Chain A
Amino acid sequence: MDIRALLVCAAMAVAAGLVGCFAVMRKMTLAADAFSHVALPGIGIALALKLNPLLGALAALLAGSLLIWVIEGKTRLSTEAITGVVFSVALAAGALTATGEELIDALFGAPGRMSIPEMVFGLAAALAVTGFVLAMRDRLLISLVSSEVAIAAGIGARGLQLGFLLAFAITVALGMRYLGVLLMGSLIIIPATIAKRLARGIDGMFTVAIAAALAATLLGDGVAAWTHRPSGPVIVVIAGALFFLSLAVSGGGGRVRRTEAEG
């Protein structure tokens, strides 16, 4: 694999690991997977207009996050429920607007050299997402625990939620090249799920999630090149293997059990 692709893959894995930590803790696991499908109509339209499918995917994901955010503000529905609705509609619209091999590539990832603009987008987007999660970590943590506590502490909970959805959307778009949008949800969720099981604190969770995402991505890319297989599925299979390994390491029992002793 060339050095450009390696750099972008590593940056994407770090962003996915970090965003995944909050997605998993916010119980957006299934929503995260569905969310990635929102890219479909954008890819379809971009292909029909002979544009880079990445642009279409990014536009659709950003529009999808805004739509989910607006509906969240107007109703008391959960992010999960709204994402489910938006996802189904997006999938239907995607099926209507796109066909062909390029769509399959966008869904499952495609091998090949990475262009300079793709590399610049990949690095810039991954840096932006990583910077957002690290800078907003304390605010994200407090609003995760209780939105009222966050508001009372002067945290703009609505703005923060929009920022998180956008970071999530950008991360999914980042993965389109190598994993494809269908599988990118897995790279966001699986490493963070491993980290949730193994870590005791937030720093530990970040570290384990980033390490697992990096291991799956870099190892997966290497194995895919060696076996002449598409990279996306290989990366996800390796991430899945790491998850099952983590079950064995932690004895299947997870972290420390809750004690009733008063201290």
Chain B
Amino acid sequence: MPGEASSMQAGARVLPAGGNPVLEARGLSVSFDGTPILAGIDLTVERGEALAIIGPNGSGKTALFRALIGAIPHGGTIHWAPGTRFGYVPQKLDIERDLPITGGDLLRARLTISHAQKSEIPAALERLSLQPRVLKQSIGSMSGGQFQRLLVAFALIGRPDVLLLDEPAAGIDVPGQDALNAALRRVQEEDGVTILLISHDLSVVYRYASRVLCLSRESACAGAPEVVLTPERLSELYGKPVSFHLHDEGNHGH
């Protein structure tokens, strides 16, 4: 329901002084083969924000990302600030990883098409705590955690203004997830990158997001984590009681 989304946003949005939106979407809708996936989404994202998108499976989180980058047709309007550069980390790849492609092949390809400086490759590796040897390693021989971090390093090359991360930590063990989340946090703090993050890990959302957008077939809502992530709202969103564990309660918000 767009009305609810708007009122939630107005009441709970965490805005930098002055407001400097990088994205404004109005009445955004997406349907596949006539079945509506998203309807009436209003979304404003300020520069430097960390917006988390949560919701049950099938609620249209990935479809929202795909519509935002123009990969699928949509209704409504999407307006990105002029000249916005994107980094995208997809939930799943279009290929098997068993291909003769090295980490270096991928990063250099990104470097070429974004006309970036060569020094951005070692810088991106360092930020993601990746060893330089991944440049020579084939992507099929990397662990899940290494490969996800490589994809984030790939997204960082070309100095994007906005990072769209679709469950970047899925399939990684807990230490790997912590390392990835810490790296993303650093990137956001140092570069002022705007982050749009789809995540199932509500404790990560609670700790790292400045605002949360929740999507479900029935409704959409948005607000600060402490407003949206209440037991009542979560059980309404997921259709059943949901609880999550906070590793460090004092460390959330911005």
Q: Which residues of A contact B (CB under 8 A)?
A: 25-27, 137-139, 141-142, 144-149, 151-155, 195-196, 199-205, 254-263
B90 and A25 form a contact (CB under 8 A): no
Let me know if B113 and A256 touch, CB within 8 A: no
Does any Cβ of A come within 8 Å of B88's Cβ? yes
A-facing residues in B85-134 (Cβ within 8 Å): 86-90, 93-95, 97-102, 104-106, 108-110, 112-114, 130-131, 133-134
- Cβ contacts under 8 Å, A201 to chain B: 100-102, 104-105, 136, 138
Q: Which of A26, A200, A260 contacts B100 (CB 8 A)?
A: A200
Is B71 within 8 A of A147, CB to CB? Answer: yes
A-B contact pairs, 8 of them (CB 8 A): A145-B94, A149-B89, A152-B88, A201-B136, A255-B138, A258-B141, A262-B143, A263-B134
Smallest Cβ distance from B120 to chain A, in angstroms?
14
Taking A148-B66, A149-B90 as contacts, is the C-beta distance between A142 and B109 under 8 angstroms?
yes
B176 at the interface (CB under 8 A from A): yes
Contact yes or no, A138 B108, CB < 8 A: yes
Please give me the residue from chain B that is nearest to A254 by CB atom.
B98
Q: Give every chain A residue within 8 A of B108 (Cβ-Cβ).
A: 138
Whole-angstrom distance between the Cβ of B168 and the nearest chain A Cβ: 13
Decide if A146 touches B90 in the complex (CB within 8 Å): yes
Smallest CB-CB separation from A260: which chain B residue?
B143
Residue of B nearest to A204 (CB): B100
B146 interface residue per 8 A CB criterion = yes
Determine the distance from Cα of A155 to Cα of B70 in the docked complex, in whole angstroms: 12
Tell whether A263 pairs with B69 under 8 Å between CB atoms, given A142-B110, A200-B100, A201-B100.
Answer: no
Q: Are B88 and A149 in contact (CB under 8 A)?
A: yes
Residues of A within 8 A of B65 (CB): 148
Check A142 against B113 for contact (C-beta < 8 Å): yes
Contact of A263 with B143 in the complex, beta carbons under 8 Å: yes
Whether the pair B86, A153 counts as a contact (CB closer than 8 A) is yes
**A39 CA to B101 CA, complexed, in Å:** 32
Q: Is the CB of B100 within 8 A of A259?
A: no
Instruction: Check if A205 sits within 8 Å of B141, measured CB to CB.
Output: no
Contact of A259 (CB < 8 Å), options: B104, B112, B141 = B141
Given contacts A202-B105, A262-B145, A263-B143, contact A153 B114 (CB under 8 A): yes
User: Which of B94, B105, B106 sits near A147, CB closer than 8 Å?
Assistant: B94
Residues of B contacting A205 in the complex (Cβ-Cβ under 8 angstroms): 100
Q: Tell whether B164 is near chain A: CB-to-CB under 8 Å.
A: yes
User: How distant is A75 from chain B, measured CB to nearest CB, in Å?
Assistant: 10
Q: How far is the CB of A17 from chain B (nearest CB, A)?
A: 14
B75 beta carbon closer than 8 Å to chain A: no
B140 interface residue (CB < 8 Å to A): yes
The distance in angstroms between the C-alpha atoms of A147 and B88, with both chains bound, is 11
Q: Verify A255–B100 contact, CB threshold 8 A.
A: yes
Q: Contacts A146-B93, A200-B100, A202-B100 hold; do A141 and B87 have CB atoms under 8 A apart?
A: no
On chain B, the residues within 8 Å of A25 by CB distance are: 95, 99, 101
CB atoms of B93 and A145 under 8 A apart: yes
**A259-B69 CB under 8 A given contacts A148-B88, A153-B114:** no
Tell me how far the C-beta of B218 lies from the nearest C-beta in chain A, rounded to whole angstroms.
Answer: 26
The CA of A151 and the CA of B68, in the complex, are separated in Å by 11
Residues of A within 8 A of B158 (CB): 153
Question: Cβ of A258 and Cβ of B140 under 8 Å apart?
Answer: yes
What 16 new A-B contacts, CB under 8 Å, besides A144-B94, A154-B113, A263-B131? A139-B109, A142-B109, A148-B88, A149-B88, A149-B154, A151-B70, A153-B86, A155-B113, A200-B138, A201-B102, A201-B138, A258-B140, A258-B141, A262-B143, A262-B173, A262-B176
B102 and A145 form a contact (CB under 8 A) = no
Given the complex, which residues of A lie within 8 Å of B97, measured CB to CB?
Answer: 258
Top 8 nearest A-B pairs (CB, nearest first) are A152-B88, A138-B109, A199-B100, A152-B86, A201-B102, A205-B100, A202-B105, A256-B141
Query: In the docked arrangement, what's the CA distance between A138 and B114, Å?
Result: 11
- B residues 42-89 touching A (CB-CB < 8 Å): 65-66, 69-71, 86-89
Bound complex: CA A154 to CA B80 (Å): 14
Which A residues are CB-close (under 8 A) to B131? 263
Cα distance, A258 to B146, chains bound together (Å): 12
Q: How far is the CA of A152 from the CA of B86 in the complex (A)?
A: 6
Q: Which residues of chain A have C-beta atoms less than 8 A from B155's C-beta?
A: 149
Min C-beta distance of A173 to chain B, whole Å: 28
Shortest distance between the CB of B139 and any CB in chain A (Å) = 9
Given A153-B86, A154-B113, A255-B138, residue A141 in contact with residue B106 (CB < 8 A): yes
Q: Which residues of B contact A144 (CB under 8 A)?
A: 94-95
Contacts of A258 in B (CB 8 A): 97, 140-142
Give Cα A26–Cα B95 distance, bound, in whole angstroms.
7
Within the complex, which residue of B94, B113, B146 is in contact with A146, where a contact is CB–CB below 8 Å? Answer: B94
